[in-house]
Amino acid sequence: MNIDKKQLAKAAGLLAVGLLLGWLLFSGSGSGSHDHVHGAQAAHAQTGPEHDHDHNDHSHNNGQNASNNNEVWTCSMHPSVREDGPGSCPICGMDLIPAASEEREDDYTMVMTESAIRLANVQTTPVVREVPVREVDLPGRLRVDERRITRVTAFFPGRIITTKVNFTGAPIRRGEPMATIYSPELVTAQRELLEAARQKERNPRLYELARTKFELWGFSDRQIDAIIEGDEVKRELEILAPVDGVVLQRNVADQQYVSEGTIMFEVADLSRLWLVLEAYEEDLGWISVGDSVRFRLRGEALAHHSAVVSFIDPVVNPQRRTVGIRADIDNAGGRLKPDMLATGTLRAEMTEPKLMVPATAVLWTGPRSLVYIRDYEADVPTFRVREVTLGPRAGDFFVIEDGLKEGEDVVFHGAFRIDSEFQLADRFSMMNREPGTGAVPVHDHGERDDHDDHGAPPTHDMDEHDEPFDDVPSEFRSQLTDAVHDYIRGKDALVDSDLSGTQEAFGEFRAALEAIGEHGLPGSGHQAWMESYVALHEQAGGIVDAGDLDQARTAFRGLSDDLVRAVKMFGIEGVVYRQYCPMAFDDEGAYWISDEEQIRNPYLPETMLMCGEVIERIDS
């Protein structure tokens, strides 16, 4: 066979170029160096905005190395998944990341590859010693200063002839007439005064006593002098306002008989008010008399009012489990109104420095709290688990009473993913107190007894098909939609671990239910709505009265189940998504409703914000 020499030369050249490219691409793939950054720089040395590449790009670029090094890939949420290359988790669809190295120093230490650290977005920061400062947000409202309330009382029996103040809320100035009154006792007293005035020169003491009686009854010098100068008994006299203020109560009307001691009017000076906030028991350690407080009123975006705490109630409200915190506020312009809703923020600090770490660095389960530390002195990337004793929370930080040293670098982002690797390797971790025993409680959606073969969440009574009612008025659906919007605001507040925001939203949720009314749905769904109303109203009350976030989330769990059933039966405007987290409440699982498909877990936002799945789309 004849072979063209030019074709042979061309083929040989292509082969040489291919070999050269292969040598350039793969000859150094197994070598490299790692830079170690110490202290506070560690948080910035890990992945940041400038290194935040797309997960698919990571998977593609590292795939060849994974294959060459026999690297194992796993899911940060489901560490039981073990693949020999990059891809997606078969359970939740998240991008797989390289698993930690299997090198084992002890049950409390693990070595991880740089690629696993990078893709898990692990970030560290040093333990600091500072004075803990906390801003405590408290709900409350404006109240009338009880010390500035004056009650206008009848000093003698009589009959009100006319009322000069004829509506509640009327402004009044000191000395202005409020009503006119007739009384036999008043007529007799006038006669005594006139007789005493005639004998003033001979018996000044009698004159003074007669005049003093009128002064004690609240009559002015001007009124007394008018009686004497007129030298005649007046049938009726005016009752004058004793102070400047606003009439809060009007208890008399024209021609009404009053007896001695009757409270005819209640007048309040509103130039100063009380700000009364509700503090939960766990917050009392941060609050003391003299603390400054900033507050904002409902509808205001920023807290631009200020006051000083002047009084702390000595007893706890047994129903709400709160303590009243009171501050005096100026209201000279009269813009502030009693019973306005307010949210106060108190800034408090401890007396001495404490060890502190970011709240996201702490993984806790029941009485145990764990922190992961990166050892930058080690030759290879090494992480250690440490059980710590927590002090109070100070804003976005926890006080550490025991278990850490100042300057140690703790993982504040990616700690849960590191914990998953510790669990998988049967080492000491959040769910494993006895490392090395093989008894690792791995959360595998496909292996739980209460899941089906496809990893679906457990079904409860709420999953049973509730037949929708076809005669629900559009007005009712619109009102129920408003309540659902309040629910979602409360859910978002739980995601932010904002107790006061959660309670405010579910207070409005409960008000939206009350606007509908227990008997607000006519037709065939009337009885079903009555049952839903009672359940939803009770659960919402449990959230509003909750003493902490754990209690609020427990009530929220039951309310969510009841609300799903109501939405299915009666319908709402728009689309919502029913979502589920299998790890909530110690792996019992819990549902919630969202207006978006993206998972933002209201039960475990600090440790498993993205844990969950969409169960169904509810579209009425």
Domain ranges across the chain:
39-121, 125-133+353-415, 135-145+270-349, 146-268, 461-619
Residue position matching structure tokens 């206008």:
152
Residue position matching structure tokens 């039981």:
80
The predicted pLDDT at position 231 comes to: 86
| Chain segment 303-341, per-residue pLDDT in tens | 778 899 999 999 988 887 889 999 999 988 888 999 999
Q: What is the pTM of this model?
A: 0.47
Whole-angstrom distance, CA of residue 311 vs CA of residue 359: 31
Helix (H) or strand (E) holding 555: helix 549-570
Of 533 and 467, which is predicted with more confidence?
A: 533
Of 59 and 105, which is predicted with more confidence?
A: 105
Q: Which of 99-113, 114-128, 370-384, 431-445 has the lowest mean pLDDT?
A: 431-445
Whole-angstrom distance, CA of residue 421 vs CA of residue 398: 24
Of 49 and 614, which is predicted with more confidence?
A: 614
Whole-angstrom distance, CA of residue 124 vs CA of residue 361: 9
283 three-state secondary structure: helix
Secondary-structure class of domain 135-145+270-349 per CATH: mainly beta
Cα–Cα–Cα angle for 247, 253, 258, rounded to 5 degrees: 100
Average pLDDT (550-555) is 92
> Does pLDDT of 43 surpass 50?
no
The predicted pLDDT at position 436 comes to: 61
The predicted pLDDT at position 391 comes to: 87
Which residues make Cβ contacts (< 8 Å) with residue 340, sequence separation at least 6?
141, 142, 297, 298
> Does pLDDT of 451 surpass 70?
no
**95: which DSSP letter?**
B
> Does pLDDT of 572 surpass 80?
yes
The predicted pLDDT at position 241 comes to: 92
Helix (H) or strand (E) holding 195: helix 184-198
Average pLDDT (256-263) is 92
Under the banding of pLDDT at 50, 70 and 90, the label for residue 479 is very high
Question: Among 307, 276, 290, which residue's Cα sits nearest to residue 138?
Answer: 276
Is the backbone of residue 441 left (phi > 0), alpha (psi -120 to 50) or beta? beta
The percent of residues above 90 in pLDDT, for the chain, comes to 36
Q: Which of 222-226, 265-269, 377-381, 447-451 has the lowest mean pLDDT?
A: 447-451
The percent of residues above 70 in pLDDT, for the chain, comes to 80
Q: Using an 8 Å Cβ cutoff, are 258 and 159 in contact?
A: yes
| Edge-first strand listing for the sheet containing 158-163 | 237-240, 177-182, 158-163, 257-258
Q: Which CATH architecture has domain 125-133+353-415?
A: Beta Barrel (2.40)
> Does pLDDT of 48 surpass 50?
no
Asked if the 461-619 domain carries CATH number 3.40.1350, the reply is no
Average pLDDT (371-393) is 89
Domain 146-268 falls in which CATH fold?
A: OB fold (Dihydrolipoamide Acetyltransferase, E2P) (2.40.50)
Question: Among 357, 344, 467, which residue's Cα sits nearest to residue 128?
Answer: 357
Whole-angstrom distance, CA of residue 59 vs CA of residue 76: 14
Whole-angstrom distance, CA of residue 518 vs CA of residue 528: 10
Whole-angstrom distance, CA of residue 272 vs CA of residue 417: 54
Q: In 83-156, which ranges are continuous DSSP H helix? A: 114-119
> Does pLDDT of 381 surpass 80?
yes
CA–CA distances in Å: residue 585 to residues 144, 553, 557: 43, 10, 10
Q: Using an 8 Å Cβ cutoff, are 404 and 410 in contact?
A: yes
Is the backbone of residue 3 left (phi > 0), alpha (psi -120 to 50) or beta? beta
322 three-state secondary structure: strand
Whole-angstrom distance, CA of residue 142 vs CA of residue 85: 62
Query: What are residue 149's DSSP bridge partners?
Result: 268
